[in-house]
Amino acid sequence: MDFVAINIQIELRGYIKMKEISFVVIAYNEEKHILETLRSILDQKSLSNYEVIVVNDGSKDNTSKLVHEFINKKNYVKLINNIINKGRGFARQIGILNAKGKYIAFVDADIILPKNWLEKVLPQMKFFDAAGGIAIPDGDSTYICQKFLLNPKPLPHTYGITGSNSIYKSNIFNKIIVDPNLRGGEDVDILLKMVQSGCRIKLLDNLIVSHREDITFKKSLKRMFSFGKGATNLLNFYKKIRIPDLSFFLFVILFVNAIYFSIYRNFYFIYLFVIYPLFVSYLHLFKKFKFEKAWAFVFGGLFNYFMILSYFIGRIAGYFSKE
């Protein structure tokens, strides 16, 4: 991948080469939360000898302007502007290539770190190659959480740590390359490559971070579709079956049977095919959230039904196109 081919603008204030920790923040249209994220990084206990690299991936809002103004007030912050949006994989790799720290910490631009985040993850680097906490609500249920005021459970992420809040020994990126073509799921790709390479990873289940993303129903549907495509591509590449894969396989079986038996005017499987995503929807809610408001679960499940459908359709699309 030719990184020189993309027009990139870099702004720097008070920057020196040798650092202990490089915080890499990738952002796309994050004007609502980017400053909160940066402040939560700078408010970390025991923070010293650090740098913050913000990769603005072609945002169309005021993300770049806000970070630029923030840089004028704070040292050790670098702003990298991708003129056009290239996706999370490209942005992540740009941040890594510009990082000068012994450790690289990924913090998404809609994440608010607790003040003891660094204090908890940094000691783990004596024993592990990467560590991170649990972000709530999870990305696949953010809209439902906000719309219906559900209380998320602090559940471990499907693949362990995620790119939303995690720290890595920088030397692992000498052998593990971030795929710049991945517009999403690049953090899962990194983790699976680390597992294959024998790296040690630690998820701190007592370390909770706040996910402050603002997202619409339409964008949620697009995201779930993208998640589905990414999940299919990861399954095809790594050949590792997970519970979501089994759920999708059953969806396909019901779909095939619904078509076959409808020819003979047996519509039983059509009913099952239509109801099945709703069943998955409510199972998903019971897994992700505490059951406190019955009405919220009822209506949340109905909205989530369409997101599950979007995910399944994305899974099918993943067999015909690469994410």
Question: Is 323 part of any domain?
Answer: no
pLDDT in tens, 54-98: 999 999 999 999 999 898 766 678 999 999 999 999 999 999 999
Co-location of 201 and 266 in the same domain: no
Report pLDDT for 214.
83
Co-location of 190 and 288 in the same domain: no
Q: What is the DSSP string of 134-201?
A: EEES-TTSHHHHHHHT-EE--PPBTTBS-TTEEEEEGGGGGTS---TT-SS-HHHHHHHHHHHTT--E
Q: How many domains does the chain have?
A: 2
Co-location of 105 and 229 in the same domain: no
Co-location of 154 and 73 in the same domain: yes
Question: Is 309 part of any domain?
Answer: yes
- Residue 4, pLDDT > 80, answer no
What six digits make up the tokens of 4? 């020189």
Co-location of 184 and 65 in the same domain: yes
Co-location of 124 and 230 in the same domain: no
Question: Which DSSP category does 112 fall into?
Answer: E
pLDDT in tens, 143-154: 999 999 999 998
Lowest-confidence region among 21-25, 60-64, 183-187, 297-301: 183-187
Exposed/middle/buried for residue 51 (C-beta within 10 Å: 0-12, 13-18, 19+): buried
- Residue 316, pLDDT > 60, answer yes
Which pTM value belongs to this model? 0.84
What value, to the nearest 5°, has the Cα angle with vertex 223 and ends 250 and 2? Answer: 115
Report pLDDT for 157.
74
Coarse DSSP helix, strand, coil percentages of the chain, rounded to the nearest 5 percent: 45, 20, 30
- Residue 321, pLDDT > 80, answer no
In whole angstroms, give the CA distance from residue 91 to residue 98: 11
Co-location of 147 and 238 in the same domain: no
Question: Is 322 part of any domain?
Answer: no
Report pLDDT for 276.
97
Per the prediction, the chain carries an average pLDDT of: 89
- Residue 13, pLDDT > 50, answer no
Question: Is 34 part of any domain?
Answer: yes
In whole angstroms, give the CA distance from residue 99 to residue 90: 14
Co-location of 202 and 56 in the same domain: yes
pLDDT in tens, 295-306: 999 999 999 999
Confidence of residue 14 (pLDDT cuts 50, 70, 90): very low
What is the torsional sign of CA 311, 316, 319, 322?
A: negative
What is the torsional sign of CA 171, 177, 183, 185?
A: negative
- Residue 52, pLDDT > 60, answer yes
Confidence of residue 184 (pLDDT cuts 50, 70, 90): confident
Q: Give the DSSP H or E segment for 131.
A: strand 130-136
Residue at a domain's end among 215, 238, 253:
215
Average pLDDT over residues 202-218: 92
Report pLDDT for 30.
94
Report pLDDT for 264.
83
* Domain of residue 238, residue span: 222-317
pLDDT in tens, 218-250: 999 999 998 899 889 889 888 888 889 999 999
The percentage of the chain sitting over the pLDDT mark of 90, rounded to a whole number, equals 68
Report pLDDT for 239.
87
What six digits make up the tokens of 49? 């000898």
Per residue, the 3-state secondary structure of 204-262, as one string, reads: EEEEEEEECCCCCHHHHHHHHHHHHHHHHHHHHHHCCCCHHHHHHHHHHHHHHHHHHHH
- Residue 138, pLDDT > 60, answer yes
Co-location of 236 and 203 in the same domain: no
Residue at a domain's end among 215, 246, 272:
215
- Residue 12, pLDDT > 70, answer no
The CATH number of residue 81's host domain is 3.90.550.10
